A and B are shown apart, each in its own frame.
Chain A
Amino acid sequence: MPRIKSPAELEEFRKDIISKRDPNKPCIAVCTGTGCLALGAAHVVTALKKEIKKQRLGTKVDVRETGCPGFCERGPLLVIYPEEICYLQVQPEDIPEITSQTLKKKKIVDRLLYVDPTTGEKVTHESDIPFYKNQLRNLIGNNIKIDPKSIDDYLAVGGYSALAKALCQETPEHVVELVKNSNLRGRGGAGFPAGLKWEFARKSPAKTKYVIVNADEGDPGAFMDRALLEGNPHSVIEGLTIGAYAIGSHEGYIYVRQEYPLAVENAGIAIKQAEEYGFLGKNILGSGFDFTITVHRGAGAFVCGEETALLMSLEGKPGEPRPRPPYPAVKGLWGKPTNINNVETWANIPLIINNGADFLTSIGTKGSKGTKIFSLVGKVNNTGLVEVPMGITLRDIIYRVGGGIPGGKKFKAVQTGGPSGGCIPEEHLDIKVDFDELTKVGAIMGSGGMIVMDEDTCMVDVARYFVNFLSDESCGKCSPCREGIRQMLKILTNISEGKGREGDIELLVELSEATGDASLCALGRTAPNPVLSTIRYFRDEYEAHIKEKRCPAYVCKELISYYINPDKCKACMICLRKCPAEAIIGGKNQIHVIDQEKCTKCGTCIEVCPSRYGAVKKISGEPVPSPIPEEARIIARKSKKR
């Protein structure tokens, strides 16, 4: 494959690719992102390819293995083009029917379609499915159209045209202006204006400069960057190369967490392909600009998502953050000016170059422009990745796109911003999601993790969960973070175990202040957020734990007991047999009783008790009623004979 040496050659090549693709030729796009692979997508693909061969449809149908389009709750999923028919929760056994009905006879397999939960109406086309329809999928929309291992697929949807435009038609300074004018704010969490950051790096005098993609994505529950890097690595490479040109850097890194092996693999393949085609290396597209990219893996440290800790890791050192100032734009990797941005930030760049700054400024709120991809997870019906314009309300995201809370449960809070963020209660569901509005209510935008919680979530447990996470992930160098988190964890654990004392809440607030004010880096400085936001909105739960030794959500193990209501128990023996601790006493005609000494609170009994009986319940804050006398537990069954 000879290198493409100019924008004109690129357009010729692109036209050639597109001309060879018949838009009317059936193509089945199957999601093979990590989530769907975990649900068996690889077997679906194997079955599909086998069936196509068997039916001799090899030349008539294309199969495309794509990255994640976001509807993770309903995977494995596939979309059949050109009609855009979307089938959900597809299993290998469904393939013969899909092939014979849809591919051959153009008939729909109804049972695999999306069903609207309120109207019962079935939806055939992907873009009509409410989950997708209510999004604005500027970035992730391309995932289903691209095989991430095929650079030609990326070219077919217009890829690398922004690179050609930037390198061959714009000056580096003008590119920086464009990004500044777009008001793009960093998508990694801090929301710092990207264009301004680029300008600092551009103005730093040095021959050697670096640009870095931060793909460490450590927030638990967030996987937007994984989907972008796995599913459309070329969009990130293109954005990075444009940024390198603008800043004056010739060496770039993609720092990926090693827990994302598919992203590491696809990024590596994409870089090789880009080099082959001439989008990386020397004299890119005849512009005279040289640039190379290396993939560098993380080694399992959340703190390395912090940009200065990331730099330490790149330099082969432990991920201990560095003091700022000096900022990386002045003194970064190996002491040289460095610009680090998040994956999603870089992915926005080609869109801005191709469509102008207004492409972003026409979307969103005054302070936050463009779209944001959120990973909507937890107690929500449509778990997955959603891309929405800034300014949409939380309510719309959770209910219109997310489909609301499963099981008829009541919404309690939504947690945004990961361990640096906060929990937002129902009273704020109508706020417009943007960087500043979220900060006002005690949370942060963060990288995009959005965890929905319902009435069965204990907010003290949530605070303890995050502080526990941070105590593991803190680098430990500075004492306000290391010691502050250590003490906060002790207090929260005590509270959740019924050992809380008067004054604990005030002590938590005091520790939070010191840790938040005096820590070396953002991990420590934002560590108090989950604690402070849960105290702010759910103080009553803390007080119930401390004063009444009661967990209102029935979560904290030491404070709950499982109890079988003798009036409802029908002695069906299901829970008795399934109890892993053999803690249930009873028999075929004898009402069951849980031996509280043996009970491990695993929750199996409440899960397996048939819903028509609903005899098991959780008790908290009050003593377990003593079992009724043994004679009273015998059920007299009506005899079958007359």
Chain B
Amino acid sequence: MSEILLQIDGIEVKAKEGMTILEAAQSAGIFVPTLCHHEKLEPYGACRICTVEVETGGRTNLVAACLYPVEPDLVVRTRSEKVDKTRKILLEQFLAHAPDAPALQDLAQEYGADKDRFAKESSFCILCGLCVRYCNEVKKKNAVGFVDRGARREISFIPEAASKECWNCKECFPLCPTSYLQAAYHLTEALAFPSPSFKPASE
């Protein structure tokens, strides 16, 4: 794999072809905030907190660092007026869902995000997708998934699968940045798990 030279925050970084800006930055010890990223999972690009400014072909764009592939002579800025403004308002939108989530507090302080800017939303979930993706890609049990779309998008446990798999697993629980996941699991368990006398359909 060929080597690619790019510039991040004025520092020259050596990266390998196929790396993302996030991987290149991390290899050079440059911090880029993330919420929906996890080393064991395919990059997802949902939270957009890792948004950075790139200059390529004479044009400046905002892109997600976790997804954008490195290019020769790429100029990247992990902080700028636009980047900071974007991260601030994204955080304020997340805080409307989960104002006290530990994962958001440091970032909120760094970017001056006001947790009361937007009216409180009814769900703690910020739809980072870590639970769904972990269950699909790592455990391959598909016990939890997304439903619906747009502002109505939610995570949802599949009762038949969850009742068989989750009790002994729960590896996704610590991944949830807002503890919504645990609440959703217990609610599903209480309301929708098949009763003990239920026999699953024969395979």
Contact = CB atoms under 8 A, between A and B. Distances in A.
Q: Tell whether any CB of A sits under 8 Å from a CB of B in the complex.
A: yes
Given A482-B127, A487-B118, A476 B148 contact: yes
21 contacts: A326-B69, A471-B151, A475-B150, A476-B146, A476-B149, A476-B153, A477-B127, A479-B93, A479-B94, A479-B127, A480-B90, A483-B90, A483-B96, A487-B118, A490-B119, A510-B85, A510-B89, A511-B89, A514-B86, A517-B86, A519-B48
Residue of B45, B48, B152 contacting most chain A CB atoms (<10 Å): B48
Contacts of A483: 90, 93-94, 96
Contacts of A479: 46-48, 90, 93-94, 126-127
Residue of A326, A473, A474, A479 contacting most chain B CB atoms (<10 Å): A479
A490 B96 CA distance: 13
Contact of B86 (A326, A486, A518, A520): A518
B151 A485 contact: yes
Interface in B36-93: 45-48, 51, 62, 64, 67-69, 82, 85-86, 89-90, 93
Nearest to A475: B149
Given A483-B93, A517-B82, A478 B150 contact: no
A468 to B, nearest CB: 10
Contacts of A473: 149-150
B85 A471 contact: no
A472 B148 CA distance: 10
A49 B149 CA distance: 48
Nearest to A510: B89
Contacts of A318: 146, 149
A615 B94 CA distance: 52
A636 B71 CA distance: 87
A625 interface: no
A323 B45 contact: yes
Contacts of A486: 93, 121, 151
B148 to A, nearest CB: 7
Interface string B90-119: 100110100000000000000000000011
Contact of A514 (B85, B94, B129, B149): B85
Given A482-B151, A514-B85, 14 more contacts: A323-B68, A326-B69, A474-B149, A476-B127, A477-B46, A477-B129, A479-B127, A480-B48, A485-B150, A486-B93, A486-B121, A513-B86, A517-B82, A520-B64
Main secondary structure of the interface of A (DSSP, over half): helix
A479 B129 CA distance: 11
B51 A518 contact: yes
B89 A471 contact: no
Contacts of A485: 150-151
A480 B46 CA distance: 9
A438 B126 CA distance: 37
Contacts of B64: 323, 518, 520
A478 B85 contact: no
Residues of B in contact with A, size category: 20 to 34
Nearest to B154: A476
Contact of B153 (A326, A482, A489, A517): A482
A325 B149 CA distance: 24
A489 to B, nearest CB: 8
A482 B89 contact: no
Contacts of A337: none
B153 to A, nearest CB: 3
A513 B85 contact: yes
A70 interface: no
A484 interface: yes
A517 B62 contact: yes
A301 interface: yes
A477 B46 CA distance: 6
Contacts of A518: 48, 51, 62, 64, 86, 90
Interface in A509-548: 510-511, 513-514, 517-520
A478 B86 contact: no
Interface string A472-507: 111111111011111101100000000000000000
A211 to B, nearest CB: 25
Residue of B45, B68, B89 contacting most chain A CB atoms (<10 Å): B89
Q: Which 3 A-B pairs have the closest CB atoms?
A: A476-B153, A483-B93, A474-B150
A305 to B, nearest CB: 14
A97 to B, nearest CB: 53
Contacts of A470: 150
B89 A514 contact: yes
Interface in A431-480: 470-480
